[in-house]
Amino acid sequence: MPGDQMSALSIQNLKFRYPDQPAGAPWNVSVSSLEVARGEQVLLTAASGHGKSTLLQVVAGLLDPAEGTVSIAGTRVHDLHGAARDLFRGRHIGMIFQTFNLLHGFSALENVMAALMFSTIPPREHKDRAAALLKHLGIDRVDADPDRLSVGQQQRVAVARAVVCDPVLVLADEPTASLDPENASTAIQLIQDACREKNAALVCVSHDPAMGERFERRESLDRLAGRPLERSA
């Protein structure tokens, strides 16, 4: 059964179009079917502007589709509304962004603790849990402001924040696009290893051809949408 609890992610007949698009315009996102098992790691590729980041926003429940369903661990994300959806996202989905999106004015530790506010983990455990994970990922200066950390260290804080709640699914949106090749290689390895340790499924979107060799499963978003395949620039 699509969307059963054996799947981390199940997408069926999904279609999304931005409100400012005219009726009848091509869908910004169209996926007939995509299943991702628990613990599985999938790379989604497409040419620029073909809906990679938009798809992740729909999966995370930040955007509502016109048609179709997105289920995470058997729960239909878009059947939830308001605070219920926010809590579900915080407890079940980790997100890693191209620009990290760390909170300025908060320490590395506080950035990770912020994610735990949405978890079912007792508040008295938040600080120790966040600190232990940061140190496990190589961040010793847990009280440092992220602006005072290197780009690679900021990436580690972002990864810690994404996995600290033991999510079912981690979504990574072009996580290496702003990094040089050496740091990019280190970063994707870090993300994959952290997801394996948590048994979290990973869906990573990228148009970087070097990413392909790091994933056993690769899917073309253009193919899932039924579009002719194009080469990325």
54 assigned to some structural domain? yes
Q: Looking at per-residue confidence, does 50 or 74 come out higher?
A: 74
233 assigned to some structural domain? no
Q: Residue 221 is which amino acid?
A: L
162 assigned to some structural domain? yes
What is the domain extent for residue 78? 7-225
Residue 233: per-residue pLDDT: 31
* CATH code of the domain containing 128: 3.40.50.300
Write out pLDDT tens, residues 93-102: 999 988 888 9
Residue 227: per-residue pLDDT: 57
One-letter-per-residue 3-state SS of the chain: CCCCCCEEEEEEEEEECCCCCCCCCCCCEEEEEEEEECCCEEEEECCCCCCHHHHHHHHCCCCCCCEEEEEECCEEHHHCCHHHHHHHHHHHEEEECCCCCCCCCCCHHHHHHHHHCCCCCCHHHHHHHHHHHHHHCCCCCCCCCHHHCCHHHHHHHHHHHHHCCCCCEEEEECCCCCCCHHHHHHHHHHHHHHHHHHCCEEEEECCCHHHHHHCCEEEEHHHHHCCCCCCCC
Asked whether the predicted pLDDT for residue 230 surpasses 60, the reply is no
Residue 1: per-residue pLDDT: 38
Q: How many structural domains comprise the chain?
A: 1
**Residues paired with 205 in a beta bridge:** 44, 173
Write out pLDDT tens, residues 182-215: 888 888 999 999 999 999 999 999 888 888 889 9
68 assigned to some structural domain? yes
Mean pLDDT, rounded, of the chain: 90
230 assigned to some structural domain? no
Q: Give the pair of three-digit tokens for residue 209.
A: 């051809």
Residue 226: per-residue pLDDT: 61
Residue 231: per-residue pLDDT: 39
Residue 5: per-residue pLDDT: 52
Give the mean model confidence (pLDDT) for residues 81-93. Answer: 95
Cα dihedral sign, 15-24-21-53: positive
Residue 211: per-residue pLDDT: 87
